[in-house]
Structure 1
Amino acid sequence: MTYCVGLKIDGGLVFMSDTRTNAGIDSISTFRKMHVWEEPGERALVMLAAGNLATTQAVVSLLDERSKAPSDRAPSIMQTPSMYQTARLVGEIVKEVITNSAPVGQSADAFGASFILGGQIKGTEPRLFLIYPEGNFIETCEDTPFFQIGETKYGKPIIVRAYERTMTFAETVKLLMVSFDSTVKSNLSVGLPLDLLYYQRDTYRVGYRKRIGVDDQYYKTISDGWSNALKSAFKSLPDFQE
């Protein structure tokens, strides 16, 4: 399992993902789920992946191959004229990989994967998409300014309650830290380290990027502070009267 979030604010796009792909008594695996393609000054693309690991790695590998040799491996996400066309291209590759992975006569559900794709291409606005295993996709809007994939239920309430599109990058990171801490504490299949990335609109290059480990002091502060704040809020509520 995994947990990934892509969130749109006035200042740009913020992405965060965990790195755990398997969890059990004696089986914990870690893989990066955040992938970046950029041509500074022209475009910056970020993709988060969740689902079958073989499928997500195959999709990323195909995108990598076609981006590194665009003259020989077309189409390439480094040549698409818009984020919409980029999302269409990724969707086609996702559908192709999943379809080809399933044995003849068997369901492709076991090979399913979903993706969050965001970024900006020069001359266009920053955009954020959720791409389904079937290859189709949707885009953020005023009512839905963020996307989650993977284990979403534990971290969603805080984002829904506290998000504002005018938030600064620092405020957004605080919000996502609480969301991820709530998820990590509730589900063993989601775990640190976390990958964080900020894309500032109209820069056409990846901005702040960091890996957050178990020894990260800010994460510890947020985790402890949120737990204490919840306990204080609970105690402040009136007791039930028979």
Structure 2
Amino acid sequence: MTYCVGLKLNRGLVFMSDTRTNAGVDNISTFKKMHTWELPGERVITLLTAGNLATTQAVISILDERGKAPEDRNPSLLETSSMFQAAGLVGQVLKDIISANANVGQKAASTFNASIIMGGQIKGMPPRLFLIYPEGNFVEASEDTPFFQIGETKYGKPILVRAYDPDMKFEDAIKLLLVSFDSTVKSNLSVALPFDVMTYETDQMSVFREERITEENSYYQAISNNWSEALREAFASLPNFSFGEKDD
């Protein structure tokens, strides 16, 4: 399993992903799930992947090869005329790979399923964020749905819903995501550090900041410890429950 989040702000986009993959408790590995294609001054496109590792690696490899070999660039993420077309391209590649590995029926295909968050900007157009499904179709982030999650989503969603603000700074967005990821790590063994994080500022046409957060990161340790303490204090401050009087 995995946990990835793409967040849309008024200032730009924020991406975060864990790095754990597993095929059982005795077969755990670390793989990068965040991948970025960049033409400085022209476009930045980032993908976060969750699901079958062979499927997602095949998708990334095909997209990467098309971006590096001029004779094989049609179609390529580096040449699509819009983010909508880029989402359609990624969706088609994902669908084709799943279909090629499925022997028969929906059950066989589900073994190779994967989902992708894609976000970025092409010059002259606004930043956009998409969630791409295994079937190849996709939806776009909006004011009503300003972020997407894939993988193990349920543990980290409450904090995002309660604390998200479209006007927040990148630093606050990363703090919010770290709380969301920390809650997920503490609830599910299939999600783990290190975390990859990337921020993209609107109209910059290049990656703003990108780094990897490990378990030894002092800021992450402070967030994890302080959030736990804050929850305990908040719980203690809530009104006490009292049983009603019994009827005679």
Fold conserved between structures, TM > 0.5? yes
User: Given the alignment of the two structures, is residue 65 of structure 1 paired with residue 65 of structure 2, yes or no?
Assistant: yes
Instruction: Determine the structure 2 residue equivalent to 1:157.
Output: 158
User: Counterparts of 1:41 and 1:73 in 2: how far apart (Å)?
Assistant: 19
Instruction: Determine the structure 2 residue equivalent to 1:48.
Output: 48
- Which amino acid is 1:65 matched to? E
User: Counterparts of 1:20 and 1:148 in 2: how far apart (Å)?
Assistant: 16
Q: What is the 5 A alignment of 1:49-128?
A: 49-104=49-104, 107-128=108-129
User: Counterparts of 1:37 and 1:25 in 2: how far apart (Å)?
Assistant: 33
Instruction: Determine the structure 2 residue equivalent to 1:201.
Output: 202
Q: Is the 8 A contact 1:70 1:78 kept in 2?
A: no
Q: Is the 8 A contact 1:55 1:97 kept in 2?
A: yes
Instruction: Determine the structure 1 residue equivalent to 2:216.
Output: 215
- Which amino acid is 1:193 matched to? P
User: Given the alignment of the two structures, is residue 179 of structure 1 paired with residue 180 of structure 2, yes or no?
Assistant: yes
Q: Is the 8 A contact 2:43 2:123 kept in 1?
A: yes
Runs of 4 or more above 6 Å deviation: none
Instruction: Determine the structure 2 residue equivalent to 1:6.
Output: 6
User: Does the residue aligned with 1:21 lie in a helix, a strand or coil?
Assistant: strand
Q: How many residues align?
A: 242
Shift of 1:24: 5.0
| Pair 139,116 (structure 1): closer, same or farther in 2 beyond 3 Å | same
User: Counterparts of 1:54 and 1:23 in 2: how far apart (Å)?
Assistant: 12
Shift of 1:26: 3.2
Instruction: Determine the structure 2 residue equivalent to 1:139.
Output: 140
Shift of 1:28: 1.8
User: Counterparts of 1:24 and 1:47 in 2: how far apart (Å)?
Assistant: 25
Instruction: Determine the structure 1 residue equivalent to 2:242.
Output: 241
Larger radius of gyration: 2
Q: Is the 8 A contact 1:70 1:76 kept in 2?
A: no
User: Does the residue aligned with 2:47 lie in a helix, a strand or coil?
Assistant: strand
User: Counterparts of 2:157 and 2:19 in 1: how far apart (Å)?
Assistant: 18
Shift of 1:25: 4.5
Q: Is the 8 A contact 2:65 2:72 kept in 1?
A: no
Instruction: Determine the structure 2 residue equivalent to 1:170.
Output: 171
Q: Is the 8 A contact 2:156 2:184 kept in 1?
A: yes
Aligned sequence identity (%): 64
Structure 1 window deviating more from structure 2 (104-113 vs 188-197): it is: 104-113
Structure 1 residues without counterparts, runs of 5 or longer: none
Shift of 1:23: 6.6
